[in-house]
Chain A
Amino acid sequence: METFDAFIVILGSGIRLGVPLILACLAGLWSERSGVVDIGLEGKMLTGAFGAAAVAEFTGNAWLGLIAGVVATVAVSLVHGYASIDQRANQIVSGTAINMVTDGLTALIGNAIWGQGGRTPQLPDSALFASIELPFVNALDPVPFLGNVYRHIISGHDIVTYAAFAFVPITYWALYSTRFGLRLRAVGESPAAVDTAGISVRGLRYSAVLICGVLVGLSGVYLALAQAAYFQPHMSAGKGFIALAALVFAKWRPWPALATCLLFGFLDALSIRLQGAVLPFIGAVPVQAIQTLPYILTVVLLAGFIGKATPPKSSGIPYVKER
């Protein structure tokens, strides 16, 4: 029973570690489904975290922090959009640039404002998103299995987490059941066909980049105002790239994206839990092996050894109107 309880706790922390991945992965999904490749998720996440923590620090208000984080990230997203859509840039180069600029700029400004190597002071409780206790937690406690699952896995998360989970069906519905979603997916596959139908390729791609900015901005907000209670330079620590890996692993589809991000979050929680642990028969666990699993799995998938990950046909290719 004790190992089972421990397992429930790891699952719970896996969800918390998976939330930023879910948001960033959905963000990448929107962008890449429209044909704009985004390897700048990492930098945008950092931007969201910095904007949120900075404004929350000054105002003491979590919601103002959230708005600032999202607005800052959307601004960065639009730079990528402008380069990719209007300037027909190499989108990989643009994403790389965004990762570098935001990584340096957040640390630089943080250091200029607060000193301390760019770290914000610990944020007060009012500036954070507190965990919400769902009804009946105490009532269900005596129920053996369910009570524990309800308390640790379903209840006790913050509003951003619940929003992240809500965005999965919303994304699914918007992409597959609305006219906008159909057009958006079409523009990622065959922009010329969309253009012929008299629909603006540019407009669709900009809307996708905008949605991407909002979602990945929220993942940054979550890092600073729900998970950590401060901003610290480089705090995204590769999560943007794991989200990118998850996007490939999920083959650019919303529900598999959720499953993959939860799996990667769970692996992360497991590796933290097993740090220094000695298991029977296995011995000391090389934590690095678990930490690299998402990357290795993604490479294996990309290599086509377990199914085939095919990106949207026109992703990464700037659209040039026929002359």
Chain B
Amino acid sequence: MSSPLKPLPVWADVALIPLLNVAAAFLISGLVVLAIGEDPIEAVRLLIVGALGDLEGIGFTLYYATSFIFTGLAVAVCFHAGLFNIGVEGQAYVAGLGAALACLTLGFLPGYTLVVVAILAAAVFGAAFAAIPGYLQAKRDSHIVITTIMFNYIASALMGYLLVNVLRVPGQMNAETRQFPPGGIVPQFHVLLKPLGIVWPDTPFNLSFLLALVCAAGVWALIWRTRLGFEIRTVGANASAAVYGGISPARVTIITTLLSGALSGGLAVNIILGEEHRLILEYTAGFGFVGIAVALMGRAHPVGIILAAILFGMLYQGGAELAFDKPKISRDMIIVIQGLVVLFAGALEHLFRRPVATLLARRTAHPPI
């Protein structure tokens, strides 16, 4: 409890400890499955077959993964500045409004220029909605955690009002907009591959995936290869020291939250422009919160985020198949796993650090002959 922790070797820090944390989360998940009277090994088998067993499963897995890369990056960018943005859910929801308004009002734009404008509109709306909590954190010292929680509810009410009272097609029961024109659609891979003679089953997996990878590369370059990235990391490490380095934490805070909000707009691109082709009620479905788990599991590094996003994509796709075969293991199991990952990879991240450090120290003290 008292002696300070010795630094671990790099391999233990970046690989062993995170793996142990995630393993603990999955071990407890297995016990939960056991407790409700199902076989965890069989559940894992069904889950993996459902997620990766055929091209259709893989398509859906990658479609979900695309969403999680965007929301994971959005959360991670803020992590680097020491900010906890719980509002990705609401920012993505409002970003959907931007994408929809562009598609519904600018249908005259030629070809695919519309979709480009719609993507930019999603980013701008997401950023604008994040701007208020960001500004309040930077200039008025209001805690971004509380304000973004409040803003999630404000987003939900605002969008509910707009979809039910303003954007709904007159005479329609469902609270949703009309279909977007063809130019406002991000093409799906099975459509693109058809002319090339490649048959890919009909899945919502679309070009947004490539955009997500580009964003991941962009975030990596920004955080570790630019002056702004250095400023973000410095503010995250020690805001008062950053001031002595001539960095304005307020400015960095606002820029970071804007970036985060813009990245959360990617969720709208993937789901609204890539699959639904219309704005629907509560389309975000908690995916903004999945971003928290993905960012923590991926340790806020783009490569880690992509891997974690694919794992969560497998969980969502395989989990749906699993719930179909084993009704007792409903999709709520995925939320449990997600929460346990946040608990062990986030809150209890140091749980295994001391035992591992002790073990390694003992081995170096008495090297095995």
Residues of chain A whose beta carbon lies under 8 Å from any beta carbon of chain B: 39, 79, 83, 87-90, 92-94, 96-105, 107-109, 111-112, 115, 117-118, 233, 238, 241, 244-245, 248, 286, 288-289, 291-292, 295-296, 298-299, 302-304, 311, 321, 323
Contacts and interface: CB of A to CB of B under 8 A. Distances in A.
Contacts of B350: 87-89
A101 B338 CA distance: 7
A183 B145 CA distance: 27
Contact of B158 (A39, A233, A288): A288
Nearest to A286: B161
Contacts of B154: 292, 295-296, 299
Contacts of B2: 321, 323
Q: Which 4 A-B pairs have the closest CB atoms?
A: A100-B339, A104-B335, A101-B339, A94-B347
A314 B143 CA distance: 14
6 contacts: A104-B334, A241-B149, A241-B150, A295-B153, A296-B150, A323-B4
**Majority SS at the chain A contact face:** helix
A321 to B, nearest CB: 7
B150 A298 contact: yes
Contacts, number: 151
Contact of B343 (A94, A118, A233): A94
A175 to B, nearest CB: 22
Contact of B292 (A79, A96, A98, A104): A96
Interface stretch (B232-240, B247-255, B325-333): B325-333
B150 A87 contact: no
A108 B346 contact: no
Contact of B146 (A108, A112, A302): A302
Contact of A299 (B151, B343, B346): B151
B333 A108 contact: yes
Given A87-B350, A99-B339, A303 B158 contact: no
Q: Is the interface of B mostly helix, strand, loop or mixed?
A: helix
B346 A97 contact: yes
B160 A288 contact: yes
A72 to B, nearest CB: 14
Interface of B: 2-4, 32, 36-37, 84, 86, 132, 136, 140-143, 145-147, 149-151, 153-154, 157-158, 160-161, 165, 289, 292-293, 296, 327-330, 332-340, 342-343, 346-351
Given A96-B289, A303-B136, 5 more contacts: A98-B343, A101-B336, A286-B165, A295-B154, A298-B150
A246 to B, nearest CB: 12
B342 A304 contact: no
B136 A299 contact: yes
B296 A87 contact: no
A111 B350 CA distance: 34
B120 to A, nearest CB: 27
B346 A105 contact: no
Contact of B336 (A93, A105, A304): A105
Contacts of B86: 39, 92, 96
A206 to B, nearest CB: 15
Nearest to B3: A323
A87 B146 CA distance: 23
A264 B161 CA distance: 20
Contacts of B335: 100-101, 103-104, 107
Contacts of A248: 146
Given A299-B150, A299-B151, A302-B142, A291 B157 contact: yes
Interface centre among B36, B151, B329, B348 (most CB of A within 10 A): B348
A100 B157 contact: no
A83 B289 CA distance: 20
Q: Which of B154, B293, B327, B332 has the most CB of A within 10 A?
A: B332
A102 B336 CA distance: 7
Contacts of A323: 2-4
Contacts of A244: 146, 149
A111 B33 CA distance: 13
B157 A108 contact: no
Contacts of B328: 111-112
Contacts of B329: 108
B142 A112 contact: no
Contacts of B165: 286
B160 A105 contact: no
A184 to B, nearest CB: 22
Contact of B37 (A96, A112, A321): A112
Contact of A107 (B4, B332, B338): B332
B339 A87 contact: no
A41 B57 CA distance: 37
B347 A299 contact: no
Nearest to B293: A100
Given A89-B349, A94-B346, A299-B150, A111 B330 contact: yes
Considering residues B292, B329, B343, which has the most beta carbons from chain A within 10 angstroms of its beta carbon? Answer: B343
Q: Looking at B153, B329, B333, B334, which has the most chain A CB atoms within 10 Å of its CB? A: B153
A97, A103, A111, A238: residue with the most chain B Cβ atoms closer than 10 Å: A97
A57 to B, nearest CB: 17
Contacts of A238: 153
Contacts of A288: 157-158, 160-161
Contacts of A87: 347-348, 350-351
